[in-house]
Amino acid sequence: MEFSFFSIIAQASLVAKAVLTLLLVMSVASWGMMIQKYIALNAANRKALSGTEHFEKASNLREAVQSLGSDPASPLYYIAHQGVLEFNRSKELGNSSEVVVDNVRRSLRQGVASELSRLQRSLSLLATTANTAPFIGLFGTVWGIMSSFHSIGLLKSASLATVAPGISEALIATAVGLAVAVPATVGFNVFMGKLSQVDTLLVNFAGVFLNRVQRELNAHRPVQRMGNTEL
């Protein structure tokens, strides 16, 4: 067909083709990112739920940490690793229970922040695509309209046949820009929601880990006796 989509693109100017090529690259990159991020966040959510459940069922801290060691890809693994390192380091230094708990709490908070940063990585690509694609398409639109007016000036004719190619080119650039931006915007919002869910699970796990540390320290605290009353 003479006025088919691909026919219009084939007859478009070099600038319009460059704009459409850039939008196509952005679309492919954003869709690839959305597929990868969907898999990663779903896996993180699932592993955080199951890992926390196994951690709570363990009889002691060592067994609880070992239950996470079988899956280094779990977001809980790094958090627990940071907590255990600080727990052992603080105990070796002979710190009081209060200092140990406070140090472990800070390590867990840093671990949660690091895992969230890792999971959030490259989401900026979706945000950039969502924000810039409409303007890139608008640039193609403006260029097409400029070409149309230029054709009118050269041919000294304002007939539809003169301006139609430039207008068609402009409308396609606008449509493609929106088609690239809308999925990226929806994907970014969906993944931020999923990331918030994972954040809640990781913070809950940090709380469970800290409770386990406190019970571990209380279990090894020497009992002081005053008369017949244990303190």
Count of alpha carbons within 13 angstroms of residue 147, beta-carbon side = 21
- 170 and 144 in contact (C-beta within 8 Å)? yes
User: Is there a domain that residue 231 lies in?
Assistant: no
Write out the two tokens for 5. Answer: 């989509």
Per residue in 16-38, pLDDT (tens digit) is 788 888 999 999 999 999 999 99
User: Is there a domain that residue 193 lies in?
Assistant: yes
Distances (CA, A) of 120 to 61, 112, 117, 191, 194: 29, 12, 5, 9, 10
Confidence at residue 230, expressed as pLDDT on a 0 to 100 scale: 40
User: Is there a domain that residue 68 lies in?
Assistant: yes
**What is the span of the domain harbouring residue 169?**
5-217
User: Is there a domain that residue 43 lies in?
Assistant: yes
**Residue 225 pLDDT level (bands cut at 50, 70, 90):** very low
Domain count of the fold of the chain: 1
- Give rounded-to-5 percent helix, strand, coil for the chain: 85, 0, 15
- 41 and 194 in contact (C-beta within 8 Å)? yes
pLDDT at 213 over 50: yes
Q: Rounded mean pLDDT of 151-155?
A: 65
Secondary element (H or E) of residue 231: none
Please give the single-letter amino acid code of residue 99.
V
Percent of the chain with pLDDT over 70: 81
User: Is there a domain that residue 230 lies in?
Assistant: no
pLDDT at 229 over 50: no
Q: Is the dihedral of CA 105, 109, 114, 116 positive or negative?
A: positive
- Name the phi and psi angles at 41, rounded to 5: -70, -35
3-state secondary structure of 220: coil
- Name the phi and psi angles at 225, rounded to 5: -110, 135
Tell the residue number behind the tokens 């679309």, with chain if given: 27
Confidence at residue 167, expressed as pLDDT on a 0 to 100 scale: 73
User: Is there a domain that residue 223 lies in?
Assistant: no
**Residue 166 pLDDT level (bands cut at 50, 70, 90):** low
Write out the two tokens for 54. Answer: 């196994």
Of 11-20, 66-75, 113-122, 210-219, which one has max mean pLDDT?
113-122
pLDDT at 222 over 60: no
User: Is there a domain that residue 224 lies in?
Assistant: no
Strand partners, 229: 226
**pTM (two decimals):** 0.77
3-state secondary structure of 225: strand
3-state secondary structure of 98: helix
pLDDT at 226 over 50: no
